[in-house]
Amino acid sequence: MEYIDISPLITPKIAVFPGDTAFSRNILLDFSLGHNLILSSINSTVHLGAHTDAPNHYHADGEDIASRDLNYYLGECQVITVNVAKKARIFPNDIKNIDIRAKRVLFKTNSFPDPNHWNDDFNSLSPELINYLVNLDVILVGIDTPSVDPSDSKGLETHNAIFNNNLAILEGIVLDKVEDDIYTLIALPLRIEKADASPVRAILLKNFSVN
């Protein structure tokens, strides 16, 4: 089965939000040390690489990632390229000529080009865009940046619009080699009790139908 991997490689170099916990892997056992297997542990933010936020990340009444319906993260999606100014939010007017044909929409902005290098001027989504997409029956929004809100946002207006409309979020995906089209998205979160997010191995399938 042909697929496109839209997940960045997880290494100690991968960028995380300033102040968040960087990824590290601790080798406990190793063949090179005379052991009979390799065994390791990891330490990291759950908002790592390609990841999905849980509602409890941005709202006190939100459910944790283990409680989320997996149907959000599995099914038809549409990749849309949007070109806006650095650090700008995306508004409905920016996609006014695009026919939304899937319940999950992934925005390709090319504004966070290197997963291993943090830049604050990435693009994000506007609350107005969320309300627009909800009226088109969209249930998940994704973006090739670390967040659906600007990096310096304190109000998290887009996160809150997503909570109010019960959408799902997919952040940190890599779309630079993906053409605008309809795909099947598979980006299942781990079932981590009470967690505010989960890393995912996000892939796109072509010519494979799961609504």
Residue percentage of the chain with pLDDT more than 90: 97
User: Which pTM does this prediction carry?
Assistant: 0.95
Residues 6+ apart with CB under 8 A from 36: 29
57 in catalytic set: yes
Q: What tens digit of pLDDT does each residue of 144-181 get? A: 999 999 999 999 999 999 999 999 999 999 999 999 99
Mean pLDDT of the chain: 97
**Main-chain dihedrals φ then ψ at residue 178, nearest 5 degrees:** -105, 130
> In the CATH hierarchy, which fold is given to the domain comprising 49-205?
Glucose Oxidase; domain 1 (3.50.30)
Asked whether the predicted pLDDT for residue 102 surpasses 80, the reply is yes
- For CA atoms 211, 90, 92, 128, the dihedral sign is positive
Domain assignments of the chain as residue spans, ordered by start: 49-205
Closest CA to 173 of 132, 122, 133: 122
pLDDT of residue 19: 96
- pLDDT band with cut points at 50, 70 and 90 for residue 1: confident
Q: Using the 8-state DSSP alphabet, how is residue 66 labeled?
A: G
| Residue of 51, 57, 117, 159 marked catalytic | 57
Across 107-133, average pLDDT: 98
Q: Please state which of the ranges 117-131, 177-191, 195-209 shows the lowest mean pLDDT.
A: 195-209
- pLDDT band with cut points at 50, 70 and 90 for residue 65: very high
Asked whether the predicted pLDDT for residue 211 surpasses 70, the reply is no
- pLDDT band with cut points at 50, 70 and 90 for residue 98: very high
Asked whether the predicted pLDDT for residue 209 surpasses 70, the reply is no
Residue percentage of the chain with pLDDT more than 70: 98
Quick count: other Cβ atoms within 10 Å of Cβ 116?
A: 11
User: Strand pairing of 203-205 and 74-81?
Assistant: unpaired
Across 99-128, average pLDDT: 98
